[in-house]
Amino acid sequence: MRILLVIVVLVLMGCSSPGKKYDFTFFKWSIHECYYLKLNSSDTLYYIDVYGFKKETSFVILNKEEKERINNVLDTITFPKEQVFDSSVDDGVTNAFIIKIDNQSRKLKIHGYNGPKRFWFFGKLLEQIKNSYEFTKTNKKVDLNEIDKMVLMPVPPNFKVNIN
């Protein structure tokens, strides 16, 4: 009976998913495109296109190799203490990254090719992965509140628009 119990415990432990449980969001803005990519510990990648006045959510199931490529980066990349690398002079691309692991968040916003190069390379990798798939539209609402606090400018107090 003990041997059977040990075997059952080992089988159940072997069935648990390896790796950390995480929630990862990537944001990219440029003059040509604006979108979010949202990924959690599953193999579903959400693509939220917010370029112009639209907001369309699509998804794709990542293949094992792409999922492992992203997981390897997320497991090894180190977020700097500084959360924003920006230049008010440079035009260019803005990338933002947020990862939540066990209710702890790490954030980074980079603009104008300032900031850690490894994050610029990671952004390129995510863009390549996005461009290699055909996404399927969905009505699922994806929570972007935390990353929106980083990338959207707040409306100034007492802001008024005069239409005359």
The string of pLDDT tens digits covering residues 126-146 is 999 999 999 999 999 999 988
Q: What angle do CA 56, 148, 29 make, to 5 degrees?
A: 65
Question: What average pLDDT does the chain have?
Answer: 84
Question: What is the structure's pLDDT at 39?
Answer: 94
What pLDDT, on a 0 to 100 scale, did the predictor assign at position 8? 44
Amino acid at 45: L
More confident site: 119 or 163: 119
Residue pointed to by tokens 């790490």: 106
CATH class of 20-150: alpha beta
Residue 121 has pLDDT above 80, yes or no: yes
Q: What is the predicted pLDDT for the residue at 54? A: 81
The tens digit of pLDDT for each residue in 77-108 reads 989 888 888 766 667 889 999 999 888 889 99
Distance CA 78, CA 5 (A): 41
For every residue of the chain, DSSP letters joined together read: -HHHHHHHHHHHHHHSPPS--EEEEEEEE-SS-EEEEEEESSSEEEEEE-STT--EEEEEEPPHHHHHHHHHHHHH----S--EE--SS--S-EEEEEEEETTEEEEEEEETT-S-HHHHHHHHHHHHHHHTS--EEE------HHHHHHHSPPPPTT------
The span from the CA of 12 to the CA of 104, in Å, is 28
